[in-house]
Amino acid sequence: MDKGLLVIVSGFSGAGKGTLVKGLIDRYDNYCLSISATTRDPRPGEENGRHYFFVTVEEFERMIAEDRLIEYARYVGNYYGTPRDYVQKKLEEGKDVILEIEMQGAMKVKAKFPNVVTIFVSTEDAATLKSRLMGRATETVEQIENRLIRAIDEAELMNGYDYLLINDDRDASIEQLNSIIMNEHRKMTYNTEFIGEIEKGLKTLFGR
Ligand code: 5GP
């Protein structure tokens, strides 16, 4: 059996990547979502251990020092990072593990895991992004502005991702996300184990 695939979903703040990832996990059972650690405050309705592990700066820095994170980054004044143990365990169980992380972290993971697939989620245009972010009303005006400024930098670097997903229709985008990942499983570079086995099997069968 294939080992699970590591999948990074990034995107502009407000592009709806969280909703897409949640939809994907609810619809298909071969996916697991990595829960990140962060030093930012919980938003209303967010639970510790479900949306994030909400930790202090000291706790986060201890996780870095003990090498318990696959990657971490600073985003608009806070630390965010991916705990290593859960991801490794689920990949070994053959699950596809989704990391919903920002760009700096994505590039670090890509350097460490050559088979990772990277997907960038955008709205259809900039104006839609702004109105979605404003409509969310979970951040202050200043925080929203900082996120939009950050989006300008992200737009410059988004072409480093493997796939672009334009989230203009939730259901269709969830299906596209699933198709991208399923196709990735069929890549020859991901199936070296199968290739080795069938080659060996054929040689044994035909005495070569
Ligand atoms: P938010 O505060 O909106 O939940 O997340 C802010 C940004 O941090 C989003 O782009 C989100 O994808 C990213 N993020 C969440 N968890 C992680 C993580 O573990 N590592 C990195 N590098 N980014 C993360």
Q: Where are the alpha helices (DSSP H) in the chain?
A: 17-27, 57-65, 84-92, 103-112, 126-136, 141-157, 170-185, 192-205
Q: Is the CB of 100 under 6 A from ligand 1?
A: yes
Residue the block writes with tokens 């086995």: 197
- Report if residue 66 sits inside a domain: no
- Report if residue 55 sits inside a domain: no
Confidence of residue 1 (pLDDT cuts 50, 70, 90): very low
Q: Is the CB of 105 under 6 A from ligand 1?
A: yes
- Report if residue 50 sits inside a domain: no
Stated pTM of the model: 0.92
The number of folded domains in the chain is 1
Q: Give residue 58 CA to ligand 1 midpoint distance, Å.
A: 19
Instruction: Tell me the CATH number at 146.
Output: 3.40.50.300
Q: pLDDT digit string (tens) for 176-205?
A: 999 999 999 999 988 999 999 999 999 999
Q: pLDDT digit string (tens) for 102-155?
A: 999 999 999 999 889 999 999 999 999 999 988 877 788 898 999 999 999 999
Nearest CA to ligand 1 atom 14: 101
Domain encompassing residue 159: 6-34+96-205
- Report if residue 141 sits inside a domain: yes
- Report if residue 115 sits inside a domain: yes
Q: Is the CB of 25 under 6 A from ligand 1?
A: no
Residue the block writes with tokens 């999948």: 7
